[in-house]
Amino acid sequence: MMAAMRCLIRGRVQGVFFRASTRHEARRLGLHGRALNLADGRVEVIACGDETALRALRDWLRHGPPLAHVEELECEWLDAIDCDAPFSIG
C-alpha cells in the first residue's frame, strides 16, 4: 500500500547534512519525495511509498544524522500524491 507523509523538523537541522542524510536513508528505504530547508530554520520532508518504510523514516528523523540535534518532529499523513521521482533535496 502506498502512503505519503509530511514532516517538519526543528532544531540544529541545517548545516549538518540533514537533507543529504535524509535522502540517503529515504532511498535506502525505497521511498520517493524531497527534503527542503525552510527559511525559519526547519527542514521539511515529504515522502511517499510503503507505509512501513515511511514509519521507519519517521523514526530516523527523530534523531537524524550525527551532527544534528532534533528538538521537535511533527509529521502528518497525506493523501497519496504523485511521487515517482527519486528522493531529492532542495
* Residue 58 bears catalytic tag: no
Cα distance between residue 11 and residue 22, in whole Å = 15
Q: Which of 19, 23, 34, 42 is catalytic?
A: 19
Q: Which of 6, 10, 12, 37 is catalytic?
A: 37
DSSP 8-class letter at 83: -
* Residue 42 bears catalytic tag: no
Cell of 18: 540533514
Cell of 60: 530516523
Catalytic residues: 19, 37
